[in-house]
Structure 1
Amino acid sequence: MRTSALLVMFLLARSMLPQMRAPASEYQVKAAFLLNFTKFIEWPPRAFDDAKAPIAICLFGDDPFDGALNQLVEGEVVNGRKLVVQKIRHAPAAKTCQVVFVNKAEKEPSKILGGLGPGVLTVGEGEGFLRDGGMIAFVLENHRVRFDINQGAASNAELSLSSRLLSVAKTVAK
């Protein structure tokens, strides 16, 4: 009886292994950050077509999130606006995107950054992204995802960043 009880416990534990959460991948963490950034940004009213327009997170270039971002934002509402994810290949038209994520594989991020108007939060990867005019750059530090902020670039785009967001950034450039 004891052997059969152990066998049942072993089989139950083994069947639960696929359901146990694996450590979050780098891009799962970045997807969570992108979602949370939207909660700490104040956009100018003219960044949207109307009061019911969604907050669009646009992915410029290839999608490194492998669907994780889409799953994460599904059904999410921030400040009364639904969140949506779109893939783009060129600088978006005004009011199309409120957040633009530029994949680190993009060779010339300044091309898209220069074509964006006010009211668009730009997020990318690596310390060079801020030098190219980006607003938030993901950086890896001791195998952890952190981010730097270029507050001047955000202000120039008429975006207001919460002091709470600024306080958790690795560095903030004025």
Structure 2
Amino acid sequence: MAVVNRPRIDLAPHGSARGARACPRRRRVLHLAALTLIAGAAAGRARAQEAALPVSVKAAYLYKFLSYVEWPPAAFEGADSPIVIGVHGADDVLAELRQVLAGRTAQGRPLVSRRVAQGDTLAGVHVLFLGQANPADVESWLAPWRERPILLVTDSGRGLGQGSMINFVLVGGRLRFEVSLPAAERSGLKLSSRMLQVAERVVGVR
């Protein structure tokens, strides 16, 4: 008797109703997983951008302040001497500041920024920004320079109490600044009324 080879029949072909139902379900699961990954990455970028925002704003403020401060002539060696901004305890702000200052001037002078460590001389520095630092250490470090024409800018809850002229504060999630006129006057600095008008708080207004 001849043997007839019959073709094998797949009982669950890919084109069956069962397969058709399974594929869309898998696609939906994969799609949701992809959306979750994308949303997580976007949220991470948003948090990073939000965290970086105060850094860029602080750097922008430090640059803008230069146009509203009057230093005594003796604070500079010559008419073309640069305005020097020293930064202590805030390398992220320093990095951003270097980009902001690149190719710019203020009051007709070139601009220079540099890192300052505790114990370094502040001779030739016109603006000093103090990031996160121990207030007691800062006060002892700055004591010999209190009455020198250096604009001291802090980022501390008790910045003005440390003797700074300008202190950054967060108000309603926005970075603002407060000013101490007596501290500026003791150092021989004059602050523009335009700066005072936009300050969150001004100490020593007569």
1:142 corresponds in structure 2 to: 172
Percent of paired sites with the same residue: 36
- Structure with max Cα Rg: 2
1:113 corresponds in structure 2 to: 142
Determine if contact 1:113/1:133 at 8 Å carries over to the other structure.
Answer: no
Runs (5+) with no aligned partner, structure 2: 1-48
1:42 corresponds in structure 2 to: 70
Q: CA deviation at 1:91?
A: 4.5
Distance 1:66 1:57 in 2: 9
**Superposed, which structure 2 residues align to 1:76-155 within 5 Å?**
76-89=104-117, 90-94=119-123, 96-107=124-135, 108-116=137-145, 117-155=147-185
Deviation digits for residues 88-114 of structure 1, max 9, x if unmatched?
A: 1135343x1000001123443212331
Deviation digits for residues 15-40 of structure 1, max 9, x if unmatched?
A: xxxxxxx6661110000000000010
Determine if contact 1:60/1:102 at 8 Å carries over to the other structure.
Answer: yes
SS at match of 1:122: strand
Letter in 1 for 2:194: R
SS at match of 2:93: coil
Larger RCO: Structure 1 or Structure 2 (Cα < 8 Å, ≥ 6 residues apart)? 1
Q: CA deviation at 1:65?
A: 1.5
Determine if contact 2:86/2:114 at 8 Å carries over to the other structure.
Answer: yes
Letter in 1 for 2:165: M
Distance 2:102 2:134 in 1: 26
Q: When you count helix as a share of all residues, which structure comes out higher?
A: 2
Runs (5+) with no aligned partner, structure 1: 1-21
Q: When you count strand as a share of all residues, which structure comes out higher?
A: 1
Letter in 2 for 1:85: S
TM-score (norm 1): 0.81
SS at match of 1:65: helix
